[in-house]
Amino acid sequence: MRIIRRGVSAPEVARRFRVTRMSSNRWYRAWQAGGIEALASKGAGGEKCRLDEARLARLTTELERGPAAHGFLEDQRWTLARVADPISSLFHIRYTPRGISYLLHRIGWTPRFPVHRAAERDEGVIEQWVAEQWPAIKGRRSTWAPGCAGKTRPAKD
C-alpha cells in the first residue's frame, strides 16, 4: 500500500478506502510487522469444505436421483433439510442449513421456488381470454381527457 508508505494517517486511509479506522490501523500494523507481503489476501475466509471433489461428485449423483430415491415420496423437491439426510448417511458429516446452501451453490445447484397454480386452472381458457379479451381491455383509455403522469398541470402558452 503505497499510501501507507507515504505516511498518510490511518484516519485518512480509512476515509479514502471507505473502511473503519480499526481496519486501517490493522493494515498499518501488519505492514510494519511484515511489509507489503503481510497485506496480501489470504484467500476466502471460513472453514474449508469437508467434502473432497470425489464426495461432491457422489453427492451430485445422489441428488440427481431425486428425493424419492432417498425415501421422500410425498413430493419431488429437495429442501435443505432433506439434502442433509443423504449427506449424513453417505459421508457421516452434519451440515447446518446455511452450510448446505453454500455446498449446493458450490456444486452448481440453485434454489428454485415452485409456481403455485390453482387446481381448477384451465390453460386453454386463459389463452383464449388473453388472445380475445385482453387486447380490447388494454386498448381502452381509462378517461376521456388527455393524461399527464405528473401532479402538476402542463404550462399554458
Is pLDDT at 103 greater than 90 in this prediction? yes
- For 28-51, what is each residue's pLDDT tens digit? 888 889 888 888 888 777 778 899
The rounded mean pLDDT for the chain is: 85
pLDDT, residue 51, reads: 93
Put simply, whether the predicted model's pTM sits higher than 0.75 gets the answer: no
Determine the average pLDDT of the residues in 139-155.
63
Burial code of 106-125, b = ≥16 C-beta within 10 A, e = fewer? Answer: eeebeeeeeeeeeeeeeeee
* Closest alpha carbon to 104 in 157, 63, 151, 75: 63
- Grid coordinates given for 24: 486501517
Q: How confident is the model at residue 146 (pLDDT cuts 50, 70, 90)?
A: low
pLDDT, residue 155, reads: 66
Q: How many CB atoms lie within 10 A of CB 85?
A: 13
